[in-house]
Amino acid sequence: MNFLQSLLPAQSYTSFRERARAAAGAFIALLLTGAISQFLLAHSPAHLFLVGGVGASAILLFCLPASPLAQPWPVVGGNVVSALAAALCVRWLGDGVAVAALSVALAIAAMFALRCLHPPGGGMALSVAMGGPALHAVAVEFAVGPLLLNSVLMVLAAMAYNNLTGRRYPHTQQAPHPNPHATQDPVPTMRLGFQPEDLDAVLKQYNQVLDVSRDDLEEIFLRTELQAYKRRFGVIRCADIMSKDVATAEFGTALEAAWRDMRGHHVAALPVLNRARRVIGIVTQGDFLDHSGLDDYQGVRNRLRSFLRKSGVTHTEKAEVVGQIMHTHPVVAQLDTPVVELVALMADSGHHHIPVVDDEARFAGIVTQSDVVAALYESRLADGLGSVVH
């Protein structure tokens, strides 16, 4: 039994829900594609309205939507280019097994050249080449008619279904960790350990087509590093290091009162809570500066004092309360969130203060950059002392 299992390829780590969602997406897409194509191609010379090969495309579109081979251009371009390559081969060279093999080879070369590699394209080329005289006579019309329409409709269905069910499609390459301070320096978490250049060098040495995008591969490696760190140094939770006695504000807190609290407690941010103590926003010193028009930094004291003072005029556009300048929908953490998961948010994304909520989403405390630095220092110090003792 173990020998037989070793012969089987490893499957993806997907849940039953994900597999059911993929199957449902393929069913809906093929059903809509067939119905629309049948209506539009009622008088098509190819006498086809649903091409068998798009069933193979459906597997990529709904089971592996992040794959470079499942993106819109590879699906449409790969299918059509492969069918056209086979159509030209049978038109110039006749039919036969050798011509069919040549059709697939030329299809692969064309897909590589046009950067639209799509595995079902090979099957499409073979189907056209071995389709017999009836299909050969209308091979070009078949490629730019039913096949093109089917491919476009399948891509449109995949865009709608995948995004409605929470998966990004098309899966475009993401920007490589932009610096929030708009400088050329790499973000802090990319200055040590795994580097993007390391991945590029290994991929160049590997010299094979991978069925995963580069940004996804990089994200997998970074998450693996994070998991390894948790395993080595244990899990310090937000509940262990957060500040619990925290100055907070409400939506209607006057700006002057909020500013006075921030200055009095020597903090740079106040979580904004509603009456049920749920986090509805966060206000920082930067928000005060941004909304008080201090870009030129001239007369800062007077302009800030004027901004904080109530105008006494009704129906004014001037901000009067915290709720008018706060950041809504702030990033929050749970009590049991590992502190190491906050490192990238704070170091790379510019989140200096992260509110912590309990199981009922009520405010429980706040974690700052200082808290995280101290926690990581203590964990490394404890690890070092432990190794010396042993």
The answer to whether the CB of 81 falls within 8 A of the CB of 182 is: no
Which pTM was predicted?
0.62
Q: Alpha-carbon distance 105 to 110, whole Å?
A: 9
pLDDT at 311: 57
The answer to whether the CB of 128 falls within 8 A of the CB of 143 is: yes
- Summarize the confidence of residues 16-44 as an average pLDDT: 90
pLDDT band at 332 (very low <50, low <70, confident <90, very high): very high
pLDDT at 309: 66
Joined together, the tokens standing for residue 189 give 């978490």
pLDDT band at 82 (very low <50, low <70, confident <90, very high): very high
Q: Alpha-carbon distance 240 to 237, whole Å?
A: 5
Q: What is the mean pLDDT of the chain?
A: 82
Joined together, the tokens standing for residue 266 give 């020597």
Beta-bridge mates of residue 127: none
Does residue 287 have a pLDDT over 70?
A: yes
3-state secondary structure of 187: coil
Cα 307 off chain centre by: 40
Q: Alpha-carbon distance 96 to 339, whole Å?
A: 64
Residue for token pair 């009836």: 134
Sheet holding 353-357, edge to edge: 333-334, 353-357, 363-368
Q: Alpha-carbon distance 318 to 377, whole Å?
A: 44
The DSSP secondary structure of 217-282, one letter per residue, reads HHHHHHHHHHHHHHHHH---BHHHH-B-S---EETT-BHHHHHHHHHHHT-SEEEEE-TT-BEEEE
The answer to whether the CB of 29 falls within 8 A of the CB of 58 is: yes
pLDDT at 179: 57
pLDDT at 52: 87
For 347-388, the pLDDT digits (tens) are 767 788 999 999 999 999 999 888 888 877 776 665 554 554
Domains and CATH numbers, the chain: 14-164 (no CATH), 188-233 (no CATH), 239-389 (3.10.580.10)
Joined together, the tokens standing for residue 48 give 């086809």
Joined together, the tokens standing for residue 286 give 């930067």
Residue for token pair 């173990």: 2
Q: Alpha-carbon distance 297 to 59, whole Å?
A: 58
Question: What radius of gyration do the chain's Cα atoms show?
Answer: 29
Cα atoms found within 13 Å of the Cα of residue 260, Cβ hemisphere only: 8
Does residue 207 have a pLDDT over 70?
A: yes
> Counting Cβ atoms within 10 Å, is residue 250 exposed (0-12), middle (13-18) or buried (19+)?
middle
Q: Alpha-carbon distance 259 to 288, whole Å?
A: 8
pLDDT > 90: what percent of the chain?
47
- Phi-psi region at 376: left, alpha or beta (left = phi > 0; alpha = psi -120 to 50): alpha
Q: What are phi and psi of 226, to 5 degrees?
A: -65, -45
Does residue 390 have a pLDDT over 50?
A: no
Mean pLDDT is lowest, of 88-97, 205-214, 322-331, 347-356, for 205-214
